[in-house]
Structure formats: C-alpha cells, structure tokens
Structure 1
C-alpha cells in the first residue's frame, strides 16, 4: 500500500521508527537537526505515493523499517503499513540546503533543547561552502536558513542578513529565512534578497505561550508577521504553530483564522519530546485523527483567505516531512 493522508497522519503521530543502521548507510543520507524541538536527534525521510515524512531513528519505536526488494516497508505490530523508499536529505531536508546559523539560543523555550545543547555557530564562509556542496549535487531547488539567538535578536539579524546577501549574490534560487523578529527584520531581510520569511508564534494560547516561552513576546511576533505580509507578499509568510502543548482545538482554529486573516500561513507542527527537556514541560503528541481534523479545517480556512501553502518554495511548507500540510497532503 502506498502512503495517503491517513497513513501519513499515523506515521507523523508516532514520529519515529526503528531502522537498521546498515540500511541507513546504504540507502540514504540522514539528517540531525540543530534547531527546534527535534535538535540533535538523527532522522530520515521516507517517501511514498507523493507524500513525504521525516521520522526520528528510534530503536524503541512501534514502527520498524525493513527492506522490501529495492525499496522499504514500514511495519507496525508485525503488519505491513506502507511501502516506499528512503529519500536522501540534501542538507537537513530533500531538495533544499536548510542550514542553521547559530545552534545556540539565549531564550529558554521549554519545548526546545537548543539552549541546553550549546551547538556550533557557523560563519558565513562555512554556510557558503555548504550551499555550494549542495549545489554540486544538481538537486538544489532552494536555500533555507534558520538560527537561534546567540546573544541578541538584533545581533543575530545582522549575521543572517550578511549570509543572505552573500548567497543572493551567488545563487538564483528562492531563499527562506526563519528567525526571531526584530523591528526591522522583514525590511532588512527582503532588501538582502530573502524570498520568504517565517516567524514562529509557537502557540496562540497566550497562557501557554507565557509559560513555555517566558522570554518572548507573542504580541511582538504577531505584529512582525502582519508587517511582513506586504513586504514579502501573500503565500510568502508563514509561522510554526505547535500542537501538543495542552492547547484546545478551538484555540488552534481561532489562531489559524487570525493568522490567515493577516495573510500568514500557519504550519501545524506536532510537538517532539526531547530527553534534554524531560521534566521541563508536559506534552502530548497529537493523534493521527487530531492531525487530520485540524489540517483539513486549516485548509478550509486558508481557502477562504485565498492562501496556498503549495505555492511556498522554501523551508517547511514544500518539505512537508514533519506535518500534514494543506494542499499537499490533504
């Protein structure tokens, strides 16, 4: 059986699979994100029936990947679920050089392991070299950049603007950027050559936000998103919206409607528990039924506002590996 929306929702709700290390080495280049809730965890991409999913490699997962002729099969409880193939990750995801500039952050969002990882900070020349390596494969369709906040949002923006300017001078492909916004970030990044922008609200439940992102301002992020739309244009501004922090479906859909009314495309992102955050936060990864229901309702809201996630060219929306994406999966 090939993957459809229902099967993908099941896989995303689990979020991991047991896969033999030799199979990974033979068939696919894995990825180890250095930003966001999944930072530091090795993962791989599986593609079937026009759908793509990213799964963390986990020996204790109820899903298992086994070889099946020239492809692979995912099984659960000893029963086959779906057939497909492992897909190479160009640089963090297929067909994109998706790179993290600062793998450390002064903010302490309770779902994110980055503040505890103290990862590396890449210099501009290293970023340029990594993109050039991706270009040599002949598979590069977009460049995407994300970054923590090493010292301050303003200083981080300067670094990102410098990198975007250097990349735009060398490459004629879409460039997407995901950072914590400053008062001038949209104008500065657009002028530097960015194509798309993503500022993450994380959650639209103000009480949950204040608890899990105590150093950030939801109001500032929302104002920055609204200001970004006329600068970048429709279908060019998006925002990660985490599912599994204790928010209600009603809150999610009200938040989706508010973002869509601004011209912003919400990305409903299932929460990924991280061992470095054990005890810091109570989370519940959404079920397959919840993922499908909220994604289909989100599609209806986006349709009302004439927003099309399938027109985005960078970052998460064209990748679709971590989410059930309207107009691509449902």
Structure 2
C-alpha cells in the first residue's frame, strides 16, 4: 500500500472499520474519481461504483452514495475520511487507492456476469449477461498491469451453462493466464475433483462460498444449490492446497443467531478452512433488510480472531482474492490489532 505520514495514526481506520461497514457507503468530493471504480463483483454489485480508502495498514471499500454520512475528501495523493461516530466526529488521514481491476493490487475478474441461480441477496442474476472470452480476460489483466502494480490474479464467476461447461471455460482461461507468472485465486461454485485440477493448473488458493451460517438459511437463500457439495469441496481443497490457502465467505445478517454463526466458524476452522465474515449488503430480494450493526460486526470479528489464533490459521497470509484485499470485511489479523478498538 501507499505510505502515509509517519506522524499519522496508521491504525485509526482499523479501529473504526466495523462502524464504517455498518454504514457501507461514502460520498466523495475533491478531485473526481475515475469512472473505472464501478464493479461487477462483490457486495453492491451493479450499484454504480465504489471507493477504496486506506490509511496504509487497513483498507475499506464503500459504495458511492451522495447521501452517505461518511465523507471522503480526495486530494489526489492524500484524502481525509470523516463521519460522526458514536463518541463524536472522527477523522482519518489516508488516501484513495487505485484499482487494478475491481480492487487494488489485483486483477480480480468476473468471468460470467450473470447467473442461472437466484440467490436472494445477489444482484448478479438481474444484470445483463456477458461471458468474457479468454482473450478478453488476458486483455483485462494486461491493462491492469499497465495501470498499477498487480500482485495477483483472482477469478470469480456466476453460472450460465452446465457445470462441465463452466469448468472447461475456467481451465482454458487458466492455461492462458499462466504467462503472467502471478499468484492465481479462484472463487466459483465447485464440482467434485475441481480442486485437484485447479492445483495442477497453477492456482494458489481457492474460495468456495458457504454463504450462510446454517443449512436452513442456505436452502432459503440459495435455492437450487447444494451446501453439502460446498462442504465436501472445501474439505477436499484443504488436503490439496494446504494451510491458509482455502477460504469461504459467510454472510453476516441473513437472520442467523450469534451462536449459529459461531458454530459455523468453528466447523470451518476445525477443518482448516478460513471463513471470511461478510456483512450483508441489502440488495435484490433482501433490499428491505438492514445492514448488521457495528457491534455485531465487531463482536463476530473478535471471536473469529481468537479462534484463528487458537487453530494457528492466518488470513493475512492470503495471496489472492478477498482475504488479501480486506476491503469488504473486518480483517481480524490486520484491523484488530493490539490497540483498543472503538466500540
């Protein structure tokens, strides 16, 4: 990350990040942001863009919204984030980060912009469908490398054809992009045996998303998908990719209890899987849901950190994808440092 002044508090963002994630948006004034900040992946997909703000240690991704109570003034080489926290006005010195492709320092690319499944929290099935060709993806990576220092390639995708067709498309892309000699991460809906093939094709890490804390919620939120397949694929992946190389997103705020979320986290860690706890961005069928509270976001992040330490797992070792970016979640090993976190 870009450096900031030695006199700046380079951990203030980490201490208040849970409060900002509970808002989820920011208005930006000052030097205009480039139009390339809009994204077709991640929370808020299809909502018209986002901004990445960093203090040099922590990073947060916020949806652009002129009505947001979070205000970022962009000066180009530096920026200031302000908002009214629970204990009064807060100001954080930092900078707006350039995006490689979707997020800083990565070429994070969605292969299929569209999906035949209709997870209730996801906007992707409602977007215009487009499948990028291998040559398009090579071009996007080449362009990202020309605009920024790219440290990895991350691939994700909706499902638009059969699972066999999706796998073959992914394999072809992976063969083409190996020429960049960068760590590669893959996050897709898995099929049996997929991890072995991905490993053979040079993939460094995988992320197969459980999405919900319970089987019951999964059935309600992700009709047509099989959570047992995800568990089996995650456990298989740990045996192939090894420690700190297998991840899963779990959404916080779908209606699970704190005890249910903790049980799911424990089940993951017991099997060597690192969960990324993603605060819900209300959209699609869940547009009337509320974002999780700052207290809930912080509480579960603190629990996750304590258990990660106990199991000897460390998401800060990630080389690709969400755990490397850290923008959409509280990163337990980076944001929750020894200093006091503001409740």
State the TM bucket, normalised to the shorter chain.
over 0.9
Listed as ranges, the matches of 1:113-124 within 5 Å are 113-124=123-134
Q: Which residue of 1 aligns with 2:230?
A: 221
1:43 to 2:13 alignment: no
Q: Which residue of 2 aligns with 1:146?
A: 156
1:259 to 2:265 alignment: no
1:301 to 280, 304, 307: 307
Residues paired across the two proteins, number: 323
Name the SS for the 1:128 alignment partner. helix
1:188 to 194, 197, 216: 197
Listed as ranges, the matches of 1:133-212 within 5 Å are 133-137=143-147, 139-168=149-178, 170-212=179-221
1:241 to 2:241 alignment: no
Name the SS for the 1:24 alignment partner. coil
Distance 1:44 1:36 in 2: 13
Distance 1:124 1:236 in 2: 25
Distance 2:131 2:117 in 1: 16
Distance 2:208 2:110 in 1: 15
What is the root-mean-square deviation in Å for CA atoms of aligned residues? 1.9
Deviation at 1:67, TM superposition (A): 4.5
Q: Which residue of 2 aligns with 1:289?
A: 295
Aligned pair in 2 of structure 1 residues 68, 167: CA closer, same or farther (>3 Å)? closer
- TM-score norm. by structure 2 comes to 0.89
Unaligned runs of 5+ in 2: 1-8, 337-343
Q: Which residue of 2 aligns with 1:125?
A: 135
Distance 1:283 1:141 in 2: 36
Q: Is the 1:226–1:264 contact (alpha carbons within 8 Å) kept by the matching residues of 2?
A: yes
Distance 1:144 1:291 in 2: 26
- TM-score norm. by structure 1 comes to 0.92
Aligned pair in 2 of structure 1 residues 69, 315: CA closer, same or farther (>3 Å)? closer
Distance 1:105 1:177 in 2: 17
Q: Which residue of 2 aligns with 1:94?
A: 104
Q: Which residue of 2 aligns with 1:63?
A: 70
Deviation at 1:7, TM superposition (A): 1.3
Q: Is the 2:265–2:304 contact (alpha carbons within 8 Å) kept by the matching residues of 1?
A: yes
Deviation at 1:34, TM superposition (A): 1.4
Q: What does the per-residue CA deviation read over 1:61-120, in whole Å, with 9 as the maximum and x for residues that have no partner? A: 111222469522222259443221111111111111000100110011000000111332
Q: Is the 1:30–1:88 contact (alpha carbons within 8 Å) kept by the matching residues of 2?
A: no
Q: Which residue of 1 aligns with 2:31?
A: 23
Distance 1:177 1:232 in 2: 12
Q: Is the 2:190–2:230 contact (alpha carbons within 8 Å) kept by the matching residues of 1?
A: yes
1:315 to 2:321 alignment: yes
Q: Is the 2:280–2:291 contact (alpha carbons within 8 Å) kept by the matching residues of 1?
A: yes
Aligned pair in 2 of structure 1 residues 320, 36: CA closer, same or farther (>3 Å)? closer
Distance 2:195 2:77 in 1: 46
Name the SS for the 1:8 alignment partner. helix
Distance 2:76 2:39 in 1: 30
Distance 1:306 1:113 in 2: 36
Between 192-201 and 112-121, report the one with greater CA deviation: 112-121
Q: Is the 1:73–1:80 contact (alpha carbons within 8 Å) kept by the matching residues of 2?
A: no
Aligned pair in 2 of structure 1 residues 40, 172: CA closer, same or farther (>3 Å)? same
Q: Is the 1:103–1:121 contact (alpha carbons within 8 Å) kept by the matching residues of 2?
A: yes
1:53 to 2:63 alignment: no
Where in structure 1 do 4 or more consecutive aligned residues deviate above 6 Å? none
Between 241-250 and 6-15, report the one with greater CA deviation: 6-15
Between 5-14 and 143-152, report the one with greater CA deviation: 5-14
